[in-house]
Structure 1
């Protein structure tokens, strides 16, 4: 069985960047740290920057697009929704690819024989998306910044082998934080970020216990703890009769 290889080069409010490699084809999901850092981290995991076939952007916040000058340097096509291109500048025209919808549904994209399906998420950006990626054997779901997980998102991500999903905060820690009220409200809103409890409930619906791999990403440094995020997910999945290491694997990034 072919396995899509995942490397999480950066995760969190300081920047997000993920590589997915299927066979000889590698793509980036987001490019949210400086171009030079992406180049170095790619080389650290054995990938040359000129091997990147495409960059897929979830949304145009700085911690997801800061390193896009990489595209011009290595002539990499950049895929983003029509709405998110409003917030992206500096990418050469001929490298810009707009993710289109037909009758309100995103078109499936093909990059070097790998299928990429965008899906809607809920975040305070123009037109944010997540992605599922499959080579025909392995399916990977990437769901980063979103304030909630709805039924359509669950249907899009269902039957994945790998889940890369946000576990941004613990709700009690946000409410007790010294953040201004409007910032707390933004984080906790339906267009903000996923809490540990929210991601646990979503994974309880998604994980079937057939050896899936979970990556918990985009953790807040101030409003979460890696051990707390992991424990919350494990406890929720245990109520479904699923045990880490036996039915699924989990890694906190």
Structure 2
């Protein structure tokens, strides 16, 4: 399994996951031509993309969906989220549905890759995170969410790779020039994860088995990469876990 984070942050988000010759995208939040170029830069042809999975309908996650129309790629999103997505051809729309409160898995390449949605907490109609399983590898992707609950921790447990939002430092948000309404949205339970919230979630998930952590969707005004990394390292050190020995960490 190969992970390429093609774009991350408020300007756009797009993650490529490749197994063998097949690739799926999580979000398409940069322009169509930029997705094509970013894929080629990591040696992935656009026609290798099997599916696009959308976390939610905000512009920095769906801006480049005409890419899917161009190549006839199916796009998956929460059933209610389609009410906010207008840029996908009808025949390419696929919905995630729950059965007995649990999202159904999507299977690709005759069962060699499975994508399992899980609910998150953001100011959208039906925001999702995703766990991708292929062979003996698992990757969990959790982008915009205001908090991480027990159900999310259960959905992400036992992953080899965690791609998770570490959006802001609350003190920087409070000191920012943002209107109070925007500040309140960011730090709300349906806003974005703070560094400390992310670190707490990872401390419950990471077991020290060599997991790879990618911190993504950092605010360019209300966070610093070194601060995000330090917060996670300190929290995991409380469990006796050291970066480079028990896990790997990269801030994107």
Q: Does TM, normalized by the shorter one, top 0.5? A: yes
Is contact 1:54–1:111 with CA below 8 Å preserved after alignment?
A: no
Q: Report which stretch shifted further, 62-71 or 96-105.
A: 96-105
Give 3-state SS (helix, strand or coil) of 2:198's partner: helix
> 2:27 aligns to what?
30
Q: Distance in 1 between the 2:40 and 2:22 partners?
A: 15
> Shift of the alpha carbon at 1:90?
2.4
Give 3-state SS (helix, strand or coil) of 1:210's partner: coil
Instruction: Write the deviation string for residues 30-57 of structure 1: whole angstroms up to 9, x where unpaired.
Output: 0000000000000000000011000000
- Matched residues, number: 250
Instruction: Write the deviation string for residues 62-104 of structure 1: whole angstroms up to 9, x where unpaired.
Output: 0000000001100100001111101111211111111111122
Give 3-state SS (helix, strand or coil) of 2:95's partner: strand
Q: Distance in 2 between the 1:12 and 1:216 partners?
A: 11
> 1:92 aligns to what?
89
Runs of 4+ displaced beyond 2 Å: none
1:232-243 map, 5 Å? 232-243=231-242
Indicate whether 1:221 and 2:220 are aligned: yes
Q: Distance in 2 between the 1:88 and 1:5 partners?
A: 28
> Shift of the alpha carbon at 1:136?
3.1
1:122-141 map, 5 Å? 122-141=121-140
Unaligned ranges ≥5, structure 2: none
Q: Distance in 2 between the 1:97 and 1:163 partners?
A: 25
> Shift of the alpha carbon at 1:178?
1.1
> 1:76 aligns to what?
73
> 1:168 aligns to what?
167
Q: Distance in 2 between the 1:90 and 1:127 partners?
A: 17
Q: Distance in 2 between the 1:21 and 1:66 partners?
A: 22
Q: Report which stretch shifted further, 105-114 or 24-33.
A: 105-114
The normalised TM-score by structure 1 is 0.98
Q: Distance in 1 between the 2:156 and 2:76 partners?
A: 20
> 2:205 aligns to what?
206
> 1:45 aligns to what?
42
The normalised TM-score by structure 2 is 0.98
Give 3-state SS (helix, strand or coil) of 1:245's partner: coil
> 1:119 aligns to what?
118
Q: In angstroms, what is the RMSD of aligned CA positions?
A: 0.6
Q: Distance in 2 between the 1:86 and 1:198 partners?
A: 30
